[in-house]
Amino acid sequence: MTRIIHNSSAFLLAGILSLAVAGCAKFNDLPHGTIKEVGSGVISSNSSAVTERESVVLAQEKPEAPPSLDYVIGIGDVVQVSVAGKPEFNALSTTASSKVNGSRVDGNGAIHLPFLGAVKVAGLTITQARERLQEGLQKYFKEPWVLVEVAEYHSQPLYLLGQFRSSGTYYLDRPLTLVQGLSLGSGFDATANLRGARISRGGRIMRIDLADLLLSGDARQNIWLQGGDTIYIPDNRTQQVFVFGAVKKSGPVPVPNTGLNLAQVIAAADFRDAGFDMNHLRIIRSISPTRGELLVVDYEKILRGEAVPLQLQDGDIVYVPKNSFGGWNDAIAEILPSLQAVSAILQPFVTIKYLNQ
C-alpha cells in the first residue's frame, strides 16, 4: 500500500442532528450551597421529564455488491510492459524516478510505448490492458508474449484525516473494506469521536458509526471503499449541541469534557422574557444515519425537582416552542427554518428525514 504523509486539515463534513434523553445527572447547573425543596420523598432514579418518545427508522440503502478483485488502471499509475525477447520494452522508463521502469498513465489515460505510440489503458483491468497491447503488437511481432504490471499505484487515493495516529494519503492497490482502510491509519488518538466519523465520496457525505462497527461488530457499517474516498474522524473535544426557538441566544453550545445536560443548555441560551412553552421542549436525536428519536420534555418537571436534567449528546437539537402546538408535524414545520440555517452541520438522519422532503 503506497502512502504519502501530509498535514491533515479538519474540514467540516455535513451532518445532522438529534437530541438526548438519557441518564442520570446531578443538579450541577445549580450553584454550590443551593437548597432546593423537592417535596416529599427522594427523586427516583427512574424519574424522567420525557412525556413523549417516538422512534424513527429510515429505509436503509441496499448493501453494495462486492467489487471486482481485478485492479482497474487509472491516471497517474505507472504501468510496466514487458515483451519477451524485446529488451527495449523492459528498459522503458518515462517516470521521474529512475528506480521504476514503466510508463505513467497520462491525463488522457494513455501510456506511450515503442511501435504503438499512445495506447489508452485507463479504465482497463491488467488483463484487458495486456490483451489490447498484445493485439496491437501482432502487427510487428509474431505471437508476442506480453506481461503488464502496475509498478506504482497513484490513481485511487484514500485520504485519512482527523484523529488517526497516521493520517495522510494512501493509494488503493486492491478493493478494501472500511475496516481494512482504517487499519492503514495505525489506530486512533484517544480523543477520536468514533460515532461522529464521516466519509466524503463524490460530493456526498456519509456518516459512519465506527463505535458500532468496531466495538459492536455491526457489519452493515463495513462498506467497500472507493478511490477518492475521504475518511474523517473528528475530535471529541469539539462536540456541540444546538438550541433554537424561543431563546435569547440560539445556536450551538459546546459540550465540555464533563458533559452537558438540558438545564445547562437552557441556562446558556436563556428563555425569552415571554412567549415560550417550557412544558413541551422538543428534542431531535440521531442514533445512526437511519435511526433517531423525537422527544418531548416537560422542563417544568425538572425545575420542580421531580426529574433529573437530561444528559445531552453530541449533535442533539433542543427546540423551545413559542407556544403549545399539535404533534410532531406541526413542530417540525416550526423548527424547519432553524434546521435549514445549520443544514451543513446536521446529522444525516435529520437531513434525510426532514430537509429533503
pLDDT digits (tens, 9 = 90+) for 64-111: 788 888 999 999 999 999 998 887 776 565 555 556 678 999 999 999
Q: Evaluate if residue 269 carries a pLDDT over 70.
A: yes
- Range list for CATH 3.10.560.10 in the chain: 12-61+238-355, 157-236
Q: Which residue has the cell 446536521?
A: 346
Query: For residues 214, 215, 221 and 227, what is the CA-based torsion angle, rounded to 10 degrees?
Result: -10
pLDDT of 35 = 36
Superfamily holding 78-152:
wza like domain (3.30.1950.10)
What are the backbone dihedrals phi and psi of residue 264, each rounded to the nearest 5 degrees, phi first? Answer: -70, -40
* CATH code, 12-61+238-355: 3.10.560.10
Say yes or no to pLDDT of 215 above 80. yes
Beta strands in the chain (DSSP E): 2-4, 50-57, 78-83, 103-104, 110-113, 117-120, 146-152, 157-162, 168-171, 197-201, 204-208, 230-233, 240-245, 251-254, 281-288, 291-297, 317-320
User: Where does the chain hold its CATH 3.30.1950.10 domain(s)?
Assistant: 78-152
Does the structure show a pLDDT above 70 at 60?
Answer: no
Least confident of 53-57, 177-181, 241-245, 260-264: 53-57
The DSSP symbol for 110 reads E
pLDDT of the residue at 201: 93
What pLDDT score was predicted for residue 345?
A: 54
pLDDT exceeds cutoff 70 at 19:
no
**CATH number 3.10.560.10 given to 157-236:** yes
d(CA 307, CA 292): 23
Q: Is the pTM of this model over 0.75?
A: no
